[in-house]
Amino acid sequence: MEKKYLIIGNWKMYKTPSQSTDLVNEIAQFKCPDKVKLGISPPFTNLCPISKALKNSSIVLGAQNMYCAKEGAFTGEISPQMLQDLNVHYVIIGHSERRSIFKESNALIHQKVKVAQDFQLIPILCVGETLEERQAGQEKAIVEEQISSALEGISSALVIAYEPVWAIGTGQTATPEIAQEMHGFIRNLLKEQFPKDGESIHILYGGSMKPNNAAELLRQADISGGLIGSASLVPKDFMAIAQSV
Ligand code: PGA
């Protein structure tokens, strides 16, 4: 079976709503290989204009976070129902910046994954170890804990993003060997939990994926896409990554 890829741009807290439509229109002008599904995860404020701009496009929309309730007195939060209404398809959950800066726990992340699925959103669960954890030889234990806690009682309609924290925004990409080793480990965990679908769940690599290293990473057996931060804000770089498959 031909390998299919998922490439998602994580814009983080960059671009205003008015800047975002120009950027999206520029991205949409590039040709994307048939075996690649392309997605963009802009800030919440940009979802509405981008949803309109992408109306007739094959590019899908993702959010960067959500709260785990349909609605309610949760000042400052965004609900899965609101995302659904804007044709959002994916939602990034448990990004390392959410875990470290906003102190999101494995328990909260589990709730978010569960509620995202309840609203037919596909969670992109982010996992990954810090440099200290890797130096202490704990990378697999950490990732296993992040995955097993988040996936309790969850269906296979999800995506995993392995993002070693030491590679995010640092320009220090994991080597293809290190990345594949962790992706293979994650693949086995998924196959244990989902004997039928574990093989086909997307496992994205994230952490300084760029046009000059994407092809080699994406060629690895268990890497089927990327979660792209800074390079996704430069249309020609983002599309060079998609075209490198
Ligand atoms: P980066 O970010 O590509 O800028 O390293 C990736 C991410 O945080 O998802």
The ranges assigned to domains in the chain are: 64-223+239-243
206 ligand 1 Cβ < 6 A: yes
- Model pLDDT, residue 32: 95
The pTM of the full predicted model, rounded to 2 decimals, is 0.97
Decide whether any atom of ligand 1 lies within 6 Å of the 163 Cβ: yes
- Mean pLDDT value across residues 116-133: 98
* Per-residue confidence band for 114, with pLDDT thresholds at 50, 70 and 90: very high
- Between the CA of 133 and the centroid of ligand 1 the distance, in Å, is 19
Please provide the CATH number assigned to the domain covering 64-223+239-243: 3.20.20.70
Residue 174 has pLDDT above 90, yes or no: yes
182-216 pLDDT tens trace: 999 999 999 999 999 999 999 999 999 999 999 99
pLDDT of residue 117: 98
Q: What is the torsional sign of CA 115, 118, 119, 125?
A: positive
Nearest CA to ligand 1 atom 2: 229
pLDDT (mean) for 149-168: 97
In short, whether 229's Cβ falls inside 6 Å of ligand 1 is yes
Higher pLDDT, 56 or 143: 143
**Mean pLDDT taken over the chain:** 97
Distance 168 CA to ligand 1 centre (A): 5
Ligand 1 mean position, distance from CA 106 (Å): 20
For the Cβ of 117 lying below 6 angstroms from any atom of ligand 1, the answer is no
Largest CA distance in the chain: 49
Q: Is the CB of 232 under 6 A from ligand 1?
A: no
Q: Is the pLDDT of residue 1 over 90?
A: no
Ligand 1 center to residue 72 CA distance, Å? 31
Q: Phi and psi of 227, rounded to 5°?
A: -110, 110
Known active-site residue 95: yes
Q: Which pLDDT band, with edges at 50, 70 and 90, does 112 fall under?
A: very high
- At 40-96, the pLDDT tens digits run 999 999 999 999 999 889 999 999 999 999 999 999 999 999 999 999 999 999 999
Q: Of 2, 5, 3, which Cα lies nearest the Cα of 159?
A: 5
Nearest to 226 by CA among 73, 5, 33, 44: 5
For residue 12, how many other CB atoms are within 10 A of its CB?
A: 17
